[in-house]
Amino acid sequence: MQTIGFIGLGKMGGNMAARYLAAGYTVYGEARNRDSAQWLIDQGLQWVDTPRELAQAADVVMTSLPNDDVVESITKGTDGLLAGLSEGKIWADLSTITPGVSRKLAARVREEAHGALMLDTPVSGTVPQVKSGTLTLMVGGDKDAYRRLEPVLRVLGTPEYVGENGQGLVLKLAINISLAVQMLAFSEGLLLAERDGIDPHRAAEIMTESAVGSPMLKARVPLVLDKPDETWFDVGLMHKDIRLARQAGEELATPLPTAAVADEILAVADQLGYGHRDIATLHEVLAHTPAGSAQPATAAKP
C-alpha cells in the first residue's frame, strides 16, 4: 500500500488525511500549526517538520492549500517540496489555484524533481462529501501517473481524468461558476418570496422540491435559514475561485456574465464581513443590498 503525505491539514485536507488513516494507509503530515493537527496525530498521522521531509517519506504527496502563493511557497528552498521529490513519486495538488501557475509548477517538477510528476487534482464537494468519500476529483496531467494514482484517489470519491496539466483546474472553476450562481439565484428567489410574506422555510422546501432543486441546493438550503457554526465553503474562498474563473475566461476569450455578477455580490459579502461564513449566507447579504444595487445598504456584520 502506498504511503501518503499531506501538506495542509485544514477542514478539507485534515478530513481527507483522516479518511486515508481510517483506510489503513501510512500518512505523513505537515502544516503551519501542529497543534491544529493533534487530532490526526492521535489517530496515527506521522508528523514531519518540512515539505522536503514529507516528500522524501511518502510515495504520494497531496496538498490542500488556499491559494497560488501558499502552494508556490511550499515548493521553494532546501526544505521545499521539490527538494524532496524523486523518481516515481507523484504530487497531487488538491488546491484550487490559477491553471497557469499549476502548469508552471508541473513543468518545474518535471525539470527539477528527478522524474517525479505533478497532477492538478482539484475536488468538487465540501466537508460532508470528504467524510462520506463522495468527492468528485478532476485530474489534469500525465495519464500514466493518473492511472497509478487512481486507486488512491478513490478513497476520497470519484476521480475523473480530464486531460493535460491545468485542465482539471479549468473544469473545477467551470463547476464553481455554476455553484456560486445557483446559490445566488436561489437566495434571490427566496428573499423575493420572503418579502411578500411567504414563510421562508416553506418557500425553501417547495423550491428545492421543484425542478430547480439540484443536489447542491438540497444539501445547502438547511444552512441558509438555520445557520450552523461550521462553515463548509466560505465566501472568501468562493470569491477567490470566481476571480480565477474570470481570469481564465479573459485568457480564453470566453464571456462569463453570470460569473461577473457573482463576483460583484461576493465582493459585497466580503465588505459586510462575511468572508469566513459559508456561501449559504448570500441570502443574508442580499437582504442588506438595496434593489437595483450591488452595494450594501449598511455596514451590518454577520
Residues carrying an active site annotation: 172
Q: Residue 104 contacts by C-beta under 8 Å, 6 or more apart in sequence?
A: none
In Å, the largest CA–CA distance within the chain is 65
The SS3 call for residue 212 is coil
**Alpha-carbon span 249 to 258, nearest angstrom:** 12
DSSP 65: -
Quote the cell numbers at residue 208.
428545492
- For residues 271 and 280, give the distance between their C-alpha atoms in angstroms, rounded to a whole number: 16
Give the separation between CA 152 and CA 19, rounded to whole angstroms. 11
517519506: which residue's cell? Answer: 57
Strand ranges in the chain using DSSP code E only, listed in sequence order: 4-7, 27-30, 46-47, 60-63, 90-93, 117-120, 123-124, 135-140, 157-163
Give the 3-state secondary structure of residue 252: coil
Instruction: Please state whether 197 falls in left (phi above 0), alpha (psi between -120 and 50) or beta.
Output: left
